[in-house]
Structures are given as C-alpha cells and as structure tokens.
Structure 1
Amino acid sequence: GGASEVLARHGLSLHAVFRLNDLLDFWVDRGLLERVQAEHVRRELRLNE
C-alpha cells in the first residue's frame, strides 16, 4: 500500500520499486525488504511454472 501503490499507478513495476528501495535502504529495514523480495520471487516462480 501507500507509496508503492502510487508508484505502480505511474507505471513502475514491483522490480523498479524494489530497486528504488535499494537506493533508500539507509531507512529501510534490510531484513524486511529481503523477505518481501524473496516472497515476491517465490510467487513469480510459482506463477511461471
């Protein structure tokens, strides 16, 4: 929700949002971001099977 939804409406993919978060990781909780990314990757892999 929040900022990522706004970014998505402006045509940025989830991957672009994750890359943006990487640039801002001085305030992002690294462990949480990595768990979110890993879950997204697992979901994508299941969809692509």
Structure 2
Amino acid sequence: PISILEAFKNKIIDESEFEEYLIKWVRYASPSYDEVYFIKKIKEVLK
C-alpha cells in the first residue's frame, strides 16, 4: 500500500488506477479496516 501511495504522489498512477490497486490490495491481502482507512486518508492528504 505504501508503494501505491508513492506512485500516486509522484503522479505515476492517477486516481482511478489508485482505486483499482486499492481494491486488489483489499481483496488479496485482507487488511484491517484501520489499514484501509489509513491509506485512504493519506491519499486525501496527498491530493
């Protein structure tokens, strides 16, 4: 998830790609609700 944030921050991926990768991460890694919330909040700060 940190690499997804870095790619978003450095404009390597756009917002729709970020959401696609986030969904895949949630599906395969089964993170806790807090982890998903944290990643989404950091993304909002990076906008």
TM-score by length of 1: 0.43
Greater helix fraction, Structure 1 or Structure 2: 2
The structure that has the greater radius of gyration is 1
Which of the pair has the greater relative contact order for Cα pairs under 8 Å at 6+ separation? 2
- State TM-score, norm by structure 2: 0.45
